[in-house]
Chain A
Amino acid sequence: MPEEYRLILKNADADGYTPDIKCYLKHGGYEALAKVLKMRGRTVDDKKFTAQEYLREEVKRSGLRGRGGAGFSCGLKWSFVDRRSGKPIYLICNADESEPGTFKDRQIIHKDPHQLIEGMIISCWANDVNLAYIYIRGEFPEGARILENALAEARKKNFLGKNICDSGYDLEIHVHRGAGAYICGEETGLIESLEGKRAYPRIKPPYFPAVLGLYMCPTIVNNVETLCGVKHIVEMGADKFATLGTPNNTGTRIVSLSGHVKRPGYYEIEVGKATLGELIYHENFGGGLREGRTLKAIVPGGSSAKVFKAGEKFKLKKRLPDGKMEENEVDLLDLPYDFDSLMSAGSMSGSGAIIVMDDSTDIVAALANLSEFYAHESCGQCTPCREGSLWMSKALHRLSHGEGRKADADYLTGIAKNIQGRTICAFGEACSWPVLSFVGKFKDEFEARGEADEKARDSGAA
């Protein structure tokens, strides 16, 4: 039976569990940090590792992939850091949580802030970081206060500050608040924002944060949930962590389920151990659609992920133990909820946010809603995105307000195709993928709407 596996949220909702340090310590808090600070260098297979190098190898071996959206290997990301520049290395926790549909990081921040802080201290130690920031979205004023209190508590106990727990290691962490801009979730935009500027993403190359990040120094940007994962890797060991989930999709992840299900909410699962269908219909998760409704569409990984249409089937390739590839036909609802399966099905699990739409949904209005979001949030730096996102939003507005044309469907697709791949950051894809997939998969509805509008205008004119 598919069920939740609570690792990161193990304590968060437990009776009597509070966000203060006393409660955290009582539940084994900061023991992973103590373990790390005692680690010594070692030799494995004739290769010498410092304690920090060894922990970085552990994180790589655990298979932990970023939980913010891209699903990139955390250990690999750390390995790109330029450690020879002589410049300080910074770490930033991305707590911007701005992808529509996502509400997982706020659970950690509000209910178990010390877990994040411990994960951050360990990650900073492993990467020789002495100054780190938590970039939290402006709309979480309470979350920012909770984190500042928690940091002050940690400072008092000498888990932060100079010579942490007599280890000789110094670290300071500060909270930095955003101010309502979605683009600050993009790591280079976030860095610009932390530098006190407009959050204009930087072009890569050359501005890879691992080399030229905050103040042009090597910088690591990790999501809240990813940093918590690091703490658990230390606690249980990389090998044990890697047994959670499925191969190449290890550990747990918190799924944010919203929209037309009976029990929307956040559910922590072993990655890939529940299918999309189970997450929506099983009584342990979404509990199914509202009475008398049927499924229409699923946005599987935050609003930028390409939409799935109910009833879709996919041909997925799977590598067998003998190395041969096998192709299977898989129903949409049987897709394991992991990084790789969703990518093979043409979308992504992104930030782990599933938005469910039943047959009562006006699909044109739903896309119009998302496009308005992107038009509002484009930073305005690149012309295709700045102009294109607004054109798409305007066309969808008229289409959802009785002023459409049949040709609007193709018009929208044309604009979207001219944005993707032509912008500095991935926002170009984020705003065009919903349009390409909604219009592509529900084209008859978009055309019918435009055609009906045209007819109504013609008969009105006559």
Chain B
Amino acid sequence: MSFKVPKKLGDEIDERITHYPVKRSATLMLLHAIQEHFGYVSQEAIEWIAAKLELQPLNVYEVVTFYPMFRQEPAGKYVIKVCRTLSCMLGGSHDLFKDLCKSLKLDPNKHGLQTTKDGRFSIEFVECLASCGTAPVMMINEDFHEAVTTEHAKGLLSKCK
């Protein structure tokens, strides 16, 4: 198998597993760790995690396909998540999403994650991000941005090199 986990990540993973009396419980945390490092969860990664936790690959695969945050393909360098749900909609998130898609030359009506041709940005219209009082909200990778206007968002994107 060509899939290699660097030592530091491997150590972190081994430590995570000790948090649970049953190894299988570590599945989500391991998937997060792998996705953060490699950018996505590959078939090899699924098999690696399964072996690590003494599970069948299917047990890990069914988790990957259930939870919206795990992806099986690489995403752009910057992953933008715009909140779609009611409070943000009332705050104008649907226009924000359309404007951003337009400026990235992507389709606002397409479901799921889309990536620009140059691989720099991915964008997704996601469900509630739990910051409804400062609608509309979006995330760029792990950073939260609140009360975002289109102009503000475009300024943020221009800083993503």
Contacts and interface: CB of A to CB of B under 8 A. Distances in A.
A370 B86 contact: yes
Contacts of A181: 66-68
Contacts of B139: 139
Contact of B89 (A141, A182, A195, A366): A366
Contacts of A372: 84
Contacts of A182: 127-128
Interface string B46-83: 00000001000001001100111110000000000100
A266 interface: yes
B29 A177 contact: yes
A429 interface: no
A139 B25 CA distance: 19
B42 to A, nearest CB: 17
Contacts, number: 142
A178 interface: yes
A372 B94 CA distance: 14
B126 A264 contact: no
Interface string A250-266: 00000011111000111
Contacts of A102: 130, 132
- Nearest 7 interchain pairs by C-beta: A196-B27, A179-B67, A258-B132, A180-B68, A180-B69, A196-B24, A258-B87
A197 interface: yes
Give the interface size class of chain B. Answer: 35 or more
Contacts of B25: 176, 194-196
A100 B22 contact: no
A401 to B, nearest CB: 11
A376 interface: yes
Nearest to A267: B133
A101 interface: yes
Contacts of B53: 196
Given A139-B130, A180-B68, A259 B28 contact: no
Contacts of A256: 132-133
A193 B28 CA distance: 8
B32 A260 contact: no
A59 interface: no
B128 A215 contact: no
Contacts of A257: 133
A152 B21 CA distance: 20
B11 interface: no
A217 to B, nearest CB: 9
A355 B129 CA distance: 15
Given A179-B32, A196-B24, A370-B86, A100 B67 contact: no
Nearest to B53: A196
B63 to A, nearest CB: 6
Interface residues of A, number: 55
A191 B68 CA distance: 18
Interface of B: 19-22, 24-29, 31-32, 53, 59, 62-63, 66-70, 81, 84-87, 89-91, 126-135, 139, 142, 144
B18 to A, nearest CB: 9
Nearest to B67: A179
A142 B132 contact: no
A131 interface: yes
A178 B67 contact: yes
A178 B28 contact: yes
B85 A369 contact: yes
A173 to B, nearest CB: 10
Given A142-B144, A197-B63, A369-B84, A176 B130 contact: no
A179 B84 contact: no
Given A177-B32, A181-B66, A258-B87, A101 B132 contact: yes
Given A215-B21, A303-B85, A137 B130 contact: yes
Contacts of A377: 127
A100 B21 contact: no
A194 B62 CA distance: 15
Contacts of B27: 196-197
Contacts of A137: 130
A65 to B, nearest CB: 22
B135 A366 contact: no
Given A196-B27, A197-B63, A179 B130 contact: no
A268 to B, nearest CB: 13
A402 to B, nearest CB: 15
Most chain A CB atoms below 10 A, which of B20, B26, B133: B133
Contacts of A370: 85-86
Interface in A255-283: 256-260, 264-266
Given A181-B67, A265-B133, 15 more contacts: A98-B128, A100-B85, A103-B131, A138-B32, A142-B144, A177-B28, A178-B28, A196-B22, A196-B63, A215-B22, A258-B90, A303-B128, A355-B90, A370-B85, A376-B127
